[in-house]
Amino acid sequence: MNAPTKLTPDDFATDQEVRWCPGCGDYAILKAVHKTLPELGATRENTVFVSGIGCAARFPYYINTYGFHTIHGRAAAVATGVKLANPELNVWVVGGDGDSLSIGGNHLFHLLRRNVNVQYLMFNNEIYGLTKGQFSPTSRIGTRSPSTPQGSVDRPANGLRFALGAGARFVGRAIDIQQVNLGALLKRAHAHKGASFVEILQNCIVYNDDVFAHITDKKVAADAQILVEDGKPLLFGKDKSKGLVLNTKTLAVEVVTLGENGVGLDDILVHDEKNRVLGGLLADMEPPFPVALGVIYCDPAESYEASAYAQIAIEKSKNPKPDINKLLRSGNVWTVE
């Protein structure tokens, strides 16, 4: 083999025609991933993208690594098998909100609780795109769609809360078009040993356009988002003039303005990635609270496949030269002469 040459984003693009609708948020995510992979030092041969079914799940066809486009909802299960078969592989899972939280909710739950060392990217556009616009498990109440002409009555699922509830040790959120933040989050997710759950708010231009506009529009973004950073006060708004405090009586987060009502920087909550309770409070925030972005919770623990192979190693050390013939002859045997 030649000495490894540094790969570029283009090296991770495939020759396949991208089949997403023009203007789809998936393009931005694809771009961020193409850009991030070389920065991680990823190789084409050791990287695997596994997906389920849906618009998001077409992702592997456009990444020049190993890729497996599987069946609806089951990417997490397939990826678990891939990682268990070869823990050395750098495994990414891609799914939409329906793929991940509806048909595949069970598998995602178990992938997270087991802590399989993969990056799970959930593209959340709050709609079923590929089946032409039905409401999804993350759609807000009242979403009008072909299957809910009078508006949906289902209460939506919160992906980050779900992940935390499942026992995920890494939970983060980003917005499709925020390339820098998204790239940084992908890098953190990759660096995390164990299951990393990343929710990406992704605009579906055809069936649910601007569903996140109240968070992402330039006019409101500063007040509608908060990018959390470990060890730093939870500040947001123009000039970082607003902050989050904890009301210790209600155990709820409140929004305050620095300098008003005697609130100083010392009163502001400081983000602690390892604090699961705080992670839950941040995951819950939705307008009129700012929506939390970045690494919301990160507290590593040994991964599932590492524990599984540790057991195998112990068994192998007890029986270094296992022999089937010996196995078949163990226990009560007798000879017929």
Partner 1 sequence: MVGSVADAASQGRRKKVESVVVRFAGDSGDGMQITGSQFSSSTALAGNDLATFPDFPAEIRAPIGTTFGVSAFQINFGSRTIKTSGDKSDVLVAMNAAALKVSLSNLREGGLIILDTGSFNERNFIKAGYKVDPRTDGSLAQYQVMEIDISKMSLDVAKPLGLSQKEALRCKNMWTLGLVYWMYDRDLQPTLDWLQGKFGTKAPEVAAANIAALKAGHAFGETVEISGDYTGYSIGQANIEKGLYRLVQGSEALSWGLLAGSQLAGLDMLLASYPITPSSPVLHSLSDLKAFGVVTFQAEDEIAAACAAIGASYAGKLGVTASSGPGIALKTEAIGLAIGTELPLVVVNTQRAGPSTGLPTKTEQSDLYLAVYGRNADAPMPVISVSSPGDAFEAAIEAVRIAVKYMTPVMLLSDGYIANAAEPWLVPDMADYKPFPVKFRTDPEGFHPFVRDPQTLARAWAIPGTPGLAHRIGGIERDYDSGNISYEPENHQRMTDVRANKIRGIANDIPEQRVEVGTASGKMVVVGWGSTYGPINRAVSNMRDEGYDVSHIHLRYIWPLPRNLGDLLRSYDQVLIAEMNTGQLKTLLRSEYLVPAEGLNKVSGQPLMISEVEDAIRTRLATAKAAE
Q: Does 8 bind partner 1 (CB under 8 A)?
A: no
DSSP string, 240-269: G-EEEEEETTTTEEEEEETTGGG--GGGSP
Span near partner 1 by CB under 8 A; candidates 68-76, 122-130, 249-257, 266-274: 68-76
Single-letter code of the amino acid located at 73: G
Span near partner 1 by CB under 8 A; candidates 34-42, 145-153, 276-284, 323-331: 323-331
Give yes or no for a contact between 211 and 125, defined as CB atoms under 8 angstroms apart.
yes
Q: Does 147 bind partner 1 (CB under 8 A)?
A: no
- C-alpha to C-alpha distance for 193 and 196, rounded to whole angstroms: 8
Q: CB 229: neighbour CB atoms within 10 A?
A: 15
DSSP string, 221-247: HHHHEEEE-TTSB-EESGGG-EEEEEE
Q: Does 96 bind partner 1 (CB under 8 A)?
A: no
CB of 4 to partner 1, least distance (A): 10
State which residue, 88 or 266, has the beta carbon closest to partner 1: 88
CB of 78 to partner 1, least distance (A): 4
* Bridge partner residues of 227 (DSSP): 293
Q: Does 287 bind partner 1 (CB under 8 A)?
A: no
Residue of 31, 35, 69, 161 interacting with partner 1 (CB under 8 A)? 69
Q: Does 193 bind partner 1 (CB under 8 A)?
A: no
CB of 172 to partner 1, least distance (A): 24
CB of 248 to partner 1, least distance (A): 38
Residue 268's alpha-carbon distances to 115, 173, 242, in angstroms, are 32, 21, 9
Structure tokens at 105: 């909710």
State which residue, 10 or 260, has the beta carbon closest to partner 1: 10
Q: Residues 292 to 311: which contact partner 1 by CB under 8 A?
A: 308, 311
Sign of CA dihedral 61, 67, 70, 76: negative
Structure tokens at 280: 């839950």
Q: Which residues bind partner 1 (CB under 8 A)?
A: 1, 14, 16, 43-48, 50-51, 53, 60-61, 63-71, 74, 76-86, 88-89, 106-107, 109-110, 308, 311-312, 315-316, 318-319, 322, 324-325, 327-329, 331-337
